[in-house]
Amino acid sequence: MTNSHLAPNSATAQRDNVMVYFARCDGKIMLAPDTRVSPKQCGLDPNKWRRCEAVGAKEIEQVSVILARQEYENKRQLKVRQSMQELEYIKTARINAKLRAAMNYSKNDVAASKLQERRWQVREDAALAIIASELDPTKGFDPTKRSVYLEIEVRSASTSPLAHVGRKKVGIV
């Protein structure tokens, strides 16, 4: 008796339709590196993290959407933090340009400093626009607009071995 979903020469039975992940009570989840590990083996506190399994394509897709939303939010927060750090530097540079223009070393120096001050102002406005756009509550995660998909999720294809006869080979052969 053989099971087609088991690896042919494996000592332990591993199913290919199971995805293991760890969940925390605040809603954060992370994929397990292997289906056989526990949170403690991954260095996570077993009192805060629990091991969960998604069985079947539908459950795996639901967990995938949650992970995608979580990564989208992390990316947004990272963008905001980066813009906030740049904003401090831009403000300091703009003030320095303003002070240099006020020192009146020469006519050309004043003009160059004022030009630099305007450039810093444009960069500051751009950083503030990024922060405002990322913190906009109407701009949220939309799972239908994900940009990373498996090829099989994008278009349907025949599973017949004869369906690709005579076609040009695509990808790694």
Q: Give tens-digit pLDDT for 92-145.
A: 999 999 998 888 888 898 899 999 999 999 999 999 988 888 877 777 776 666
Q: Give tens-digit pLDDT for 51-91.
A: 999 988 888 888 888 888 888 888 888 888 999 999 999 99
Q: What backbone phi and psi angles, to 5 degrees, belong to 116?
A: -65, -40
The continuous run of DSSP H or E covering 22 comes out as strand 18-24
Residue type at 105 in one-letter notation: Y
Rounded distance, CA 162 to CA 173, Å?
Answer: 16
Query: By the 8 A CB rule, do 31 and 60 touch?
Result: no
Rounded distance, CA 107 to CA 1, Å?
Answer: 91
Domain range list for the chain: 75-137
